[in-house]
Structure 1
């Protein structure tokens, strides 16, 4: 892997930087830091924040927000450069400051991976705006995307969500091709089935695939209410990275709709890698 886009658009910049350096070390990649003042999709987040504040009776948010945000960005850039130099990671800073989702999609065309923060920067983007931007980016990106959690520990297990779709199988293979974790990493395929489905053929094929790439591999069968059962299983895990395929916005939205735990992007407890097929 040669090019990783690290997009600093959240409040956990120090954690995102640590996670980005960790992934760059695993895949021997180069980091390109993007420090946007604003990311626009169909409506400017800045205008949404201003409109929301106005409706709440707040009339003076401009200069203070702008100044604080600019200072935060400059501090993040210095921290990025210093840590990458200290860890011996090749890194550079993108000279852009304002991006649309289309701009970021163009940047991703010849990138190998995007890493983006799950949590918005306090006082700049509302949680709903930030979450919408991240989901739009995942849908538009032309390379795999990792949504980094608010905090993380070094990965000890990779969990592949396999629902027997071509997209899920592609995600598994794509991950195995580009990520070179240590030999003691555990790989688990969470095979989600509907009641009455025969899992014999899938289980055999998946175990055979696992044996070619991982020293420690396992298959777990999950049935009934696939997304709900999957999250019940994942929330008991520690130090995992979850890999899934996605067919655009609708698939990602279903992934986060979990009636019992109400899991949202801001509370994501593990890194989530999403690929397109």
Structure 2
């Protein structure tokens, strides 16, 4: 892998995004680009409420200046961490709508890394946020969704176990392919192929998938079970150690289809605190 793009909200700097992006950049000897969108539609304060309350222009100007300082400090923290880690890096501070900037960066990156709770709006919402949903729908490269770190000081676990989610669909195989291509240093980790079927305890296209997995993850084990995937997969992942990562295809269905059935990625983001490697073929 050559280039990683890490998406940062300079007003709510994500320690998780910083940690995982530097970790993977070092492991893969990749160039890391810190993307700090300078979105003119987004502030740390509620502009509508302030204007409604009759806040004067001088106060608004000071609030905007404070936000600019926060963004600069965040970019500075990213640069300092990259220099300390000894990795190649660059910083992008384009004045663009946050989602548009992230999608444009994804065209020219091998991997995008972003916090599951990223919103780029004043209000805080639970994952999956609107920003993450829209990003995953149109992103042009695989994405590593990382969990928000809530402890102070932050405590992180290195990735030490991999769960490959396989449902017999091309999107799940594609995600496993992209994971193996982009993160070869993680292929030697303990790896499990997890498959859950609503009707029957069997592995879809057993011969083909086992031959494929053997070429990329020769020591992988298998967990095959019957049940509701959204329930069984979440239950299985809850039993994993803190250093686990899940690999899955997602957001292949149409927008209308997703109104009626959540993506597995949505379910996992809502319930788990593991990194998710997501890739989907168009």
TM-score by length of 2: 0.80
Match of 1:241 in 2: 245
Partner SS state of residue 147, structure 1:
strand
Q: How large is the Cα RMSD of the aligned pairs?
A: 3.3
Alignment of 1:221-232 (within 5 A): 221-232=224-235
Match of 1:31 in 2: 32
Whole-Å separation in 2 of the counterparts to 1:162 and 1:46: 41
Match of 2:277 in 1: 273
**Cα pair distance change 1:63/1:8, threshold 3 Å:** same
Match of 1:217 in 2: 220
**Cα deviations by residue, 1:165-194 (Å, 9 ceiling, x for unpaired):** 011111111111121125640111111212
Give unpaired runs (5+ residues) of structure 2: 150-155
- Residue 208 of structure 1: how far off its partner (Å): 2.9
**Cα pair distance change 1:145/1:58, threshold 3 Å:** farther
Partner SS state of residue 200, structure 2:
coil
Whole-Å separation in 2 of the counterparts to 1:174 and 1:122: 28
**Cα pair distance change 1:71/1:20, threshold 3 Å:** same
Match of 2:133 in 1: 135
Task: Determine which of 69, 90, 93 is the counterpart of 1:92.
Answer: 90
Alignment of 1:98-177 (within 5 A): 98-120=96-118, 124-127=122-125, 131-151=129-149, 152-177=156-181
- Residue 50 of structure 1: how far off its partner (Å): 4.3
Aligned length: 265
Q: Comparing both structures, which one devotes a greater share of its residues to strand?
A: 1
TM-score by length of 1: 0.81
**Cα pair distance change 1:59/1:154, threshold 3 Å:** farther
Partner SS state of residue 98, structure 1:
coil
Does residue 255 of the first structure (1) align with residue 258 of the second (2)?
no
Give unpaired runs (5+ residues) of structure 1: none
Whole-Å separation in 2 of the counterparts to 1:206 and 1:3: 29
Match of 2:200 in 1: 196
Whole-Å separation in 2 of the counterparts to 1:49 and 1:222: 48
2:172–2:248 contact (8 Å) kept in structure 1: yes
